Amino acid sequence: MTKNMVLLCNENSLFAYNRANDGTIQMSKKATVFSSSPFTDFVCCNDKIISGHKDGRIRHWEIKLSDEKNYSEQLLTHCNVHYDIRHIDATSEHIISGSLNSIKIHKYTHENSYDFEKFYNTKYEVQSMLFDPTGTQFAVSTFTKYPQHLLSHLIYDINKNYPVINKEEDCSNYRLKLGAFQLLWEDSHTILMCYDSYINKMDTRTSEIVRTLNCSSQKGILTCFTTDNLYTILTGTNHNEIFLWDQRQNAHIQTYKNRRKQDGIYSVQFDSAHLYVGTGNNLFQYDFKERDNSRKKKYILSNFF
């Protein structure tokens, strides 16, 4: 989600929907990006879309949504980056891409060339990675199932060739997803790590876990999460439920249910007025301002797209 668009991808297509001034999705203003190689991850940076693909390439796109026309344009392609890109993130100066157990840092360039600065070969499989808000550090979560269930949280300084933090922990109690499959920085010293049944909050200055939100008592598993960088966290599950958390409390305080049975929730984003939910093939929008006397209807996501 950006100020003006809601974006989601599915296999070979990336969809961009325009947001009105009040945040409502405008169905008539939509642009579609098609790639011959499936999308694996994408990020918005400098008003451009940077995407990673199964063919190991990084592609740059420009999307315009206006009253006159809606269009998308591929700007350039970086070739031979990895055999299979699984993760990607970017700042105004660098692009980071990851495959099975390797990470590369590239200069943010508009030249159609393969140009990277650093290469890291991780000991275990990369589960997730993300730049911090300053763009000077990035976090990586790795996991190995054999010979032991070991999870590593790595923090790299972009100017160094080794991790400044390497925190290992046993993760043999996972339910389905391996390790921390999603990371979010709240600020330059605080990172949230989402597992399949709980969220850990780590202070990178001490490498200590300062907060845990646990939902292991729920039937479903966590599939995604997002935060307002204050106290609110929303988590999606494979049972089509969304939990709203206040970090000052130990249990989630509200549940939203999807009215259509799909194969789980893959992405959630929100602002002060709307919640956007991506499932396997659909996008849903919920208006927080709506009020209904029926408690059952109040928790149903509306406006199917």
Residue 49 pLDDT > 90, yes or no?
yes
How far apart (Å, rounded) are the C-alpha atoms in residues 27 and 283?
A: 11
pLDDT of the residue at 47? 87
Percent of the chain with pLDDT over 70: 88
**Neighbour order of strands in the sheet with 70-78:** 39-45, 48-53, 58-65, 70-78
- CA 249, 285, 264: angle at the middle one, nearest 5? 70
User: ∠ CA 184-129-106 to the nearest 5 degrees?
Assistant: 125
CA angle at residue 8 from 283 to 181, to 5 degrees? 105
Tens digits of residue pLDDT in 85-99: 999 999 999 999 999
Residue at 251: amino acid letter? A
Query: In Å, what is the CA distance from 102 to each residue of 21, 81, 207, 209, 210?
Result: 41, 11, 23, 26, 29
Residues 42-65 have a mean pLDDT of 91
Q: Mean pLDDT throughout 145-174?
A: 82
At 304, the pLDDT band (50, 70, 90 cuts) reads: very low
Quickly state the pLDDT bin for 187 (edges 50, 70, 90).
very high
- 136-157 residue pLDDT tens: 999 999 988 776 778 888 999 9
pLDDT at 210: 92
pLDDT mean over 190-201: 92
Which tops the pLDDT comparison, 29 or 37? 37
Q: Span 23-35, mean pLDDT?
A: 85
pLDDT at 298: 38
Q: Mean per-residue pLDDT for 54-63?
A: 92
Q: What is the mean pLDDT of the chain?
A: 84
Question: What is the model's pLDDT at position 264?
Answer: 83
Answer yes or no: is pLDDT of 108 > 60: yes
Q: Which among 25, 24, 74 has a CA at the least distance from the CA of 49?
A: 74
The mean pLDDT value for 208-233 works out to 88
Lowest mean pLDDT among 46-55, 138-147, 211-220: 211-220
For residue 176, the model assigns a pLDDT of 66
Work out the pLDDT band at 262, boundaries 50, 70, 90: low
The DSSP string of the chain is: --SSEEEEEETTEEEEEEE-TTS-EEEEEEEEEE-SS-EEEEEEETTEEEEEETTS-EEEEEEEE-SS-EEEEEEEEE-SS-SS--EEEE-SSEEEEE-SSEEEEEE--SSSS--EEEEEE-SSEEEEEEE-TTSSEEEEEEEE-SSS-EEEEEEEETTSSSEEEEEEEE-TT-SSS-S--EEEEEETTEEEEE-SSEEEEEETTTTEEEEEEE-TTSSS-EEEEEE-SSSEEEEEETTSEEEEEETTSSS--EEEE-SS--S-EEEEEE-SSEEEEEESS-EEEEETT---S-HHHHTB-EEE-
Q: How confident is the model at residue 295 (pLDDT cuts 50, 70, 90)?
A: very low
Q: Mean per-residue pLDDT for 202-213?
A: 92
Mean pLDDT score, 233-246:
91
d(CA 229, CA 131): 15
∠ CA 179-254-239, nearest 5°, is 50
Percent of the chain at pLDDT > 90 equals 38
pLDDT value of residue 240: 86
Q: What is the pLDDT of residue 110?
A: 65
CA separation for the pair 96, 74 (Å, rounded): 19
Structural domains in the chain, CATH included, are 1-121 (2.130.10.10), 215-305 (2.40.10)
